[in-house]
Amino acid sequence: MSLSFSRAQHTCSTTRKLWQFPWGYPEAALFVASIILVGFMLQLTVGHFDIAILHYPANLIALAILAGLIALGTRFQNSLFMHWIAGIPVAITLTVALLLFGLYMELTPQLPRMPTQTPDLVSRLGFRMITASWPFVFLYTMTLIALGITTLKRLLRFSRRDITFLCNHLGLWVLLASAGFGAADMMRVVMHVGAGETEWRVFNQNEEALELPVAITLKKFTLEEYPPNLTIIDRQAPPAPQPDSKPQPKNKQEFFQIDPKRPKGRIGDWAITLDEYLHTAVRVGGEYRASPMPESTPAAKITVQNLLTGEIKTGWVSAGGNTPDLFFSDLSLDERYSFAMTQPEPRRYASDITIIPKEGESFDAILEVNKPVSVGDWMIYQYGYETALGKLSHWSEMELVYDPWLLPAKIGMFLMAAGSLLLAWNGAGRRRTNQ
């Protein structure tokens, strides 16, 4: 039915005048352009859109108003105006406008928060923080309205054949609404906890404390590392903060990943054989011995052979342990070049913690990257540690994220996932029979 409507409009568009019903693309373009224009004018007069004004319960009220508008629009769905609002030309024009804003955002640097200085015109128009600019917010809201009316119309005369359409559009609407209005209530803070200590406050730049509804005790911080890489460095290169900052060959640095499963490799003209590898070792005389001491470092005994001259050398190479600029190598190739080891990269790091919510039972958890823990509407993430000390770090940082709108966002995503599966399964599907 909507299809025949849009066809009709297509044929009419050659004879009808602008703003004469039924409306189509020209009206949609002018309409969207004027929304953007009004947005820019507002931006120039009142500055950025401050999402804080939508803080609960304002966002709930705004959402209710929006839903009311959509319901009202659907009530008059047979008017030509509502046909147009819930039609393809408006949908496409809005999509293209959002696409262009996204493209601008992609191609130019964006600021994380409002600049405090009196800014230049580009900033004042909101171009350095697109997602907080009035034109963008208007476009987003208008998309919610148009998408809402489109979806509700079909939902009201539900048909099994529309299931793909409904999953995608309703899901997108729910997701956009929860992400947009939920942004006002989102809170992200980083908490710094020393080993053996309990913390429930976070501090801002002015050292002001904010008390959170959870306290965290850090029982232990652990870190595991990958075996490091070997490389060839130029010892005559200007002193650098890291010994591996001048790896050779110069034009394309090469590394040999230590892996006892694959002991042979090559860098430049040198063939490498890994004879022995100790992940935690200390130097005793000219040798390395395995040792679990805190100050231990990775060490590797290697044999290298120059593929051009046939020269063979053997020796120990180690990483500098906790002092990155201190590395040791018995394996000088000549006056200038020698083998060196890079700092090992972390494989896994985790905080062994006790979480003590203000209300409810406290519990233990292991916090790891990619494995957050949730407490009510809060999620707790492993964030950082003292990188210079690595596994010896005596504190851990956790990010706490508050998002009470996560559940509806997840429902939206779930609906969209169902819609995507249906699309992937059916292709353009039933549209074919429609043509």
Q: How far is the CB of 6 from another protein (least distance, A)?
A: 5
Query: Of 224, 214, 225, 226, whose CA–CA distance to 365 is shortest?
Result: 214
Using the rule CB under 8 A, is 332 a contact of another protein?
A: no
Q: Any contact of residue 75 with another protein (CB under 8 A)?
A: no
Comparing C-alpha atoms, which of 238, 233, 264, 262 is closest to residue 248? 233
- Interatomic CA distance for residues 178 and 184, integer angstroms: 10
**Per-residue contact string for residues 100-139; x = within reach of another protein by CB under 8 A:** --xx-xxxxxx--------------------x--------
Q: How far apart are CA 208 and CA 83, in angstroms?
A: 54
Provide CB contacts within 8 A for 410, sequence distance 6+: none
Where does this chain touch ligand HEM (CB under 6 A) — which range of 66-74, 85-93, 213-221, 292-300? 85-93
Q: Report CA torsion sign: 128, 134, 139, 145.
A: positive
Query: Residue 401 binds which one of ligand HEM, another protein, none, with CB within 5 to 8 A depending on kind?
Result: another protein
Tokens of 129: 């923080």
CB nearer another protein, residue 126 or residue 282: 126
Residue 139 contacts residue 133 (beta carbons within 8 Å): no
User: CA-CA distance, 180 to 63, in Å (whole number)?
Assistant: 10
Kindly tell me which residue out of 20, 34, 79, 257 binds another protein, with binding defined by CB under 8 A.
257
- As a whole number of angstroms, the distance between CA 21 and CA 27 comes to 10
* Distance (Å, whole) CA 132 – CA 139: 12
- Is position 262 an interface residue for another protein (rule: CB under 8 A)? yes
Q: Does 294 bind another protein (CB under 8 A)?
A: no
Q: Does 28 bind ligand HEM (CB under 6 A)?
A: no
CB of 131 to another protein, least distance (A): 6
Nearer to ligand HEM, 2 or 257 (CB): 2
Q: Which residue has the tokens 């706490």?
A: 400
Chosen residue from 210, 371, 387, 407 binding another protein by CB under 8 A = 371
Task: Give the separation between CA 183 and CA 409, rounded to whole angstroms.
Answer: 11
* Tokens found for residue 320: 């500098």
Does position 286 interact with another protein (CB under 8 A)? The reply is no
Q: Which is nearer to ligand HEM, 239 or 427 (CB)?
A: 427
Q: Is 146 in the site for ligand HEM (CB under 6 A)?
A: yes
Kindly state whether residue 229 participates in binding another protein, applying the rule CB under 8 A: yes
Cα 298 to Cα 277: distance, rounded to the nearest angstrom:
8
Q: Which two tokens stand for residue 9?
A: 């409009």
Residue-by-residue DSSP string for 160-195:
GGGHHHHHHHHHHHHHHHHHHHHTTT-EEEEEEEET
> Which residue from 2, 20, 110, 314 is in contact with ligand HEM, where contact means CB under 6 A?
2
> Can you give the binding site for ligand HEM, defined by CB under 6 A?
2, 86-88, 91, 94, 143, 146-147, 150, 165, 168-169, 172
> Can you give the binding site for another protein, defined by CB under 8 A?
3, 6-7, 10, 88, 91-92, 95-96, 98-99, 102-103, 105-110, 131, 168, 179, 186, 188, 226, 229, 254-255, 257, 259, 262, 345-349, 368-372, 379, 381, 399, 401, 403, 406, 409, 413, 416-417, 419-429, 431-432, 435
